[in-house]
Structure 1
Amino acid sequence: MRKYIVLLALALVAEMSAQQNYFNPTVKVKDYLEPAIPHPDQDKEMKDKLSKLKKKPNILIILIDDMGYGDIGVYGGGVAIGAPTPNMDKLAHEGLQLTSTYAQPTCTPSRAAIMTGRIPARSGLTRPTLTGENPKVNPWASENTTAKILSQNGYKSAISGKWHLGESKGSLPNEVGYDEWLGFGSVQSEYAQFVNEWIYPDLINKPDRLAAVKKMVDQNILTGVKGGENKVVQPISNIEELSKVDQVFANYSEDFIKRSVKENKPFYLIHSFSKVHNDNYVSEGYKGKSPAAIPYKDAIVEVDDIVGRLMKLLQDLKIDDNTLVFLTSDNGPNEDVWPDGGYTPFRGGKGTTWEGGVRVPGIAYWKGMIAPGRISDGLFDICDMFNTSLSAAGVLDKIPSSNYIDGVDQLSFFLSDKGVSNRNAVFMYSETKFMAIRWQEYKVHMNVFNTSATRRNLDQSTIQSIGMSPWVYNIYADPKEQLSQGHRYFEWGIPGVMGLIAAHLATYQKYPMKDIGLKKPGAE
């Protein structure tokens, strides 16, 4: 079947490649780079701003786990849903608020996309690894991270917090390009299952089972440097220790930033929260701090305070005018664990390619470089941060040609005072299955998620093929994707969008998908 699809894709590409058209105004610069829409005027404005910098800029990516599109105040949440977010709101007001930022449906694929600039079907990191599970092939052996490229070009790089991209030898941050790191290898829920007998009684109250499962998980915060062994910082053996991890990560991030400034080296840092992934246990002083006074909302308040701490440090060190900050979430809210999950105004949630699963907040800030108060619905894929970070550092030409890069350089979109997106379309997957495309204000589904019970996007959903016509939604008119009317109102656009999908699928001929052993037994 896949061979047939590829052949069909190649035929469609050949048919449409004779000319650029309204549906595809992109230009291909190199064979291994995703084509982008050229904007010469904003490119010139970007270069003029960059030419005035006296040193290489710092890059800080703030990555929040499972936060919903509607959790932040400026996105319709905040005070209105019982969890004020003044610091994240301030960041948006003083920078660029993106309303059409897209992630992958789950955390591991999104994190891989940010770090490699590649759709996870290419890297093989297509789904989260589960308790005690490791890929049969190290995906990082043939991948290049932003951290690796920047470290080779004068930057000091680190990740603080959650990793969840492999824990076996050769797969931890200091082994894939980061100069240093502090965090844990897995995910919050991996450690929570050992400490709360009210939620996990059938594990905790059976000693033999508990002992067996504990052997599969490294229950520690670790730290390591490039070329060195990882060391235990502190254990995660009870709720109190688990509740403090984000404060430990924040302390490390602050220390890393201070050390980088003292060494007069530009830094690349991903501050990767453990919150607000289930199960949420907040640090001392945050219990009941939100107006809602429930754990998830208290966790949002703690996250917002830490964002405020990091931004204040940049200001105190007088480097906020030389630091590109990007804040986002790795996927939509996890509705399956409600009420310990976030809010989205859209259909679906984490695990699906409905808007609720993949559309996330995206805020870009750079004092004096990004005009404050901008709001844009331009398309942005989080894998664009790979290219954009390298572009800000002036090393875009250092991207190796060995892998296809799905990200596009969006720095001119950020820096031009009236910048528009350089991305033409966003392609959406569930593991290796192509699901949907967002082009302009239209979302076109070739496969759809069928959730058979309320709030069971992960635990009780299936993927089904479409019928004769793709399912099409005008996201401006029908943002909840409730009633497909593609055949009725978008007949004019379906052939053009089908051509975009065909061109995208054709890239797998030269740059095929990578299988690292995460395919589920029995799956097609």
Structure 2
Amino acid sequence: MRAVYPIATSTLLGLILLGPVSVGLGQKPNLDRTLRTADNFEPAIPRSDQDDVVATKLAKLKKETGRKPNILWLVVDDMGYGDPGCYGGGAAVGAATPNIDRLAREGLKLTSCYSQHTCTPTRSAILTGRLPRRTGLTRPILAGDKLTKNPWADEVSLARLLSDAGYFTMLTGKWHVGEPEGMRPHDIGFDEYYGYYPAQKEISQRFDSRRFPDLVNDPERMRAFEAIAPDNHLTHGFKGGRTEKLAQVQSLEDMGRAEKVLADFTIEKIKELAKGDKPFFIEHCFMKVHCDNFPNPDLGSLSAAKYFYKEAVAEVDLHVGEIIKALDEAGVLENTFVFFTSDNGPQMDGWPDAGYTPFRGAKGTTFEGGVRVPGIAYWKGMIEPGRESDDLFDLMDLFGVALNVGGVKHDTLPTDRYYDFIDQTSFLLHDEGHSQREAVYFWWGTELMACRMREYKVHLKVALPESTHMHIDYATIQDVGLAPWLFNLYIDPKEQMPVGHRRNAFLATVLGKLKQHAATFKKYPPKDVGL
């Protein structure tokens, strides 16, 4: 195994600043089309004509319906870029996804949509509009962790902003951003929560004697584990703190049935809310396809492959179809913005209970395989069917889209912190929309790892597996060496051949963009919550 000699981010950024490839003081990178409209907001590419068209479009819809649009996010856990059929997977890899594919055909398929490298960072970023490095939510909160402060205490969540704007807000399914009081979904702004706090494996390992015999078959160890283990109850929470523990997962069959329980709840809630006078924001977070997956014994075989992971992909697709059908039958489909995605790339450490990506890396890394995810925007009558775009979209931008759709002005946000989202509403809703994001930044914990700008991606540090599929359990973070690794993703999407000094004139430009990004952390220092 190669040794790791970490360099502090500040030192590395100093090298960027002072090295021969840095951008001179006052010099604007020649590929950077952005304009900064406020000191504490990420600069965006101005597209005023596009914005005006979409503003008119939204105003017309509101006049016709007499109410604000609904918002529905469908967030899968650990689905690979190559799992859905519309992204090259589906039936070709043993699990057809007709409902997800239909969303893509009838909406906008994004081919450069980015998450964070793992669950908790993505799930916190989309609800705060801020990079996890800023909020302190840089990784999953594990059993035995001692937080020094509640990271949510001074964050203004999207759920709270939309609730204050007249929305009913609900999160169904996996949370994974804190179980203690004050950190639960119904503590941070959601009106209602119905789901499980942890990932599937953190629940099912109590019962899986073949995978975890040293735990399940040892009563003494099981007692010690239960003392610190995450809750395995289905939890029903309400704003104000009331929390009910419902059915407890007590077997692998119960775990297999959990996904349908959650989907059925969201479907019934859609029917109920559609009859009310409030618009709704629902974040439906699937438990699957995060390992360990177990099939629902009541549904029968759903995939050609029969492997548990493929069964999970097919079940997610089944429930996506049912949820969209519920919107249609409730008469609100044409007034609901839907976005389908995954919280990160596939967790290859669980293979073969893991997904597929055509790119290098996987969950846990900031290579494309870890952070490039499916992203489908669907809104019947508002998004032109059959659109596809490779323009950049960061899942944090959903925060900005939701604010715009919900009528929440940016000037209501606090000015004492930096916001990384970009309002991409006009990109998604204009018939020929273009992204307003120039760059996506990738962090791993407190380490600044990489940046994508247009088709170029530069790495300062990399997470390298020391064995096949071991992107988390047997990987090391390493400095890249003499020069940053620069890839042109249009000719090398697998990030195998750096072209910084041989076939590229834009290394300094991308490094200049990173320099600007780093400066925001000096002016708006990040939080440390003990993770």
TM-score, normalised to structure 1's length? 0.96
Q: How well do the aligned residues superpose, as a CA RMSD in angstroms?
A: 1.7
Q: Which residue matches 2:241?
A: 228
Aligned equivalent of 2:262: 249
1:149 counterpart residue number: 161
Q: Measure, in 2, the Cα distance between the counterparts of 1:222 and 1:254.
A: 17
Distance (Å, rounded) in 1 between the aligned partners of 2:243 and 2:302: 35
The answer as to whether partners of 2:118 and 2:139 remain within 8 angstroms in 1 is yes
Amino acid at match of 1:261: A
Which residue does the alignment assign to 2:5? none
Q: C-alpha displacement at 1:408, in angstroms?
A: 0.3
The residue that corresponds to 1:188 in the other structure is: 200
1:22 maps onto 2:30 in alignment:
yes
Residue 268 of structure 2 aligns to a residue whose secondary structure is helix
The aligned counterpart of 1:522 is: none
Closer, same or farther: CA 90–465 of 1 in aligned 2, 3 Å: same
1:134/1:167 contact within 8 Å kept: no
- State how far apart, in whole Å, the 2-side matches of 1:289 and 1:412 are: 37
Cα deviation, 1:136-160, whole Å, max 9, x if unaligned, reads 3110001111101000110000100
After superposition, residues 83-162 of structure 1 pair within 5 angstroms as 83-133=95-145, 135-162=147-174
Structure 2 match to 1:443 = 457
Cα distance in 1 for residues equivalent to 2:482 and 2:17: 21
Structure 1 residues 148 and 17: CA distance shift in structure 2, 3 A: farther
- Contact 2:363–2:371 (Cα < 8 Å) also in 1: yes
- The whole-number CA distance in structure 2 between the counterparts of 1:92 and 1:293 is 25
Q: Give the aligned partner of residue 4 of structure 2.
A: none
**Which deviates the most, 5-14 or 330-339?**
5-14
Using the alignment, how far apart are the partners of 1:366 and 1:255 within structure 2?
Answer: 21
Name the structure 1 match of 2:482: 468
> What CA distance in whole angstroms lies between the structure 2 residues aligned with 1:14 and 1:145?
36
Which of residues 214, 233, 240 is equivalent to 2:226? 214
Aligned counterpart in structure 1 of residue 190 of structure 2, from 157, 178, 199: 178
Give 1:239's aligned residue: 252
Contact 1:116 1:143 in 2 (8 A): yes
- 1:21 is displaced (CA, Å) by 4.7
The runs of 5 or more residues in structure 1 that have no matched partner are 519-524
Question: For the structure 1 residues 58 and 134, does the alpha-carbon distance in structure 2 shift closer, same or farther, using more than 3 Å as the test?
Answer: farther
SS of equivalent to 1:168: coil
Q: Matched residues in 2 for 1:350 and 1:3: separation?
A: 25
The SS at the match of 1:51 is: helix
Unpaired runs of at least 5, structure 2: 1-7
Aligned partner (choices 398, 401, 406) of residue 385 of structure 1 = 398
- Are positions 1:362 and 2:372 aligned together? no
Spell out the pairing of 1:267-416 with structure 2 (5 A cutoff): 267-397=280-410, 398-416=412-430
Deviations 1:265-312 (A, max 9, x none): 100110000000011012134443200011010111110000001100
Task: Tell me how far apart the structure 1 counterparts of residues 416 and 234 of structure 2 sit (CA, whole Å).
Answer: 34
Contact 2:9/2:448 (8 A) holds in 1: no
Higher alpha-carbon deviation: 439-448 or 66-75 = 439-448
User: Does the 8 Å CA contact 1:9/1:505 hold for their aligned counterparts?
Assistant: no
Letter in 2 for 1:450: L
Is 2:94–2:304's contact at 8 Å kept on the other side of the alignment?
yes
Q: Distance in 1 between matches of 2:128 and 2:384?
A: 28
Counterpart of 1:198 in structure 2 is 210
1:164 match: 176
Q: Distance in 2 between matches of 1:100 and 1:458?
A: 23
Bigger mean CA offset, 507-516 vs 266-275: 507-516
Per the TM alignment, residue 31 of structure 1 is displaced from its structure 2 partner at its CA by: 1.3
Letter in 1 for 2:94: G
Identity of aligned residues (%): 47
Alignment of 1:20-99 (within 5 A): 20-54=28-62, 55-99=67-111
Can you list the C-alpha shifts for 1:376-418, whole angstroms capped at 9, x where unaligned?
0000111111111101111133322232110100000011100
CA gap 1:95/1:408 in 2 versus in 1, 3 angstroms: same
Return the letter of the residue paired with 1:455: H
TM-score, normalization: structure 2?
Answer: 0.94
Secondary structure class of the residue paired with 1:190:
helix
SS in 1 for 2:61: coil
Report how far residue 514 of structure 1 moved. Answer: 1.2
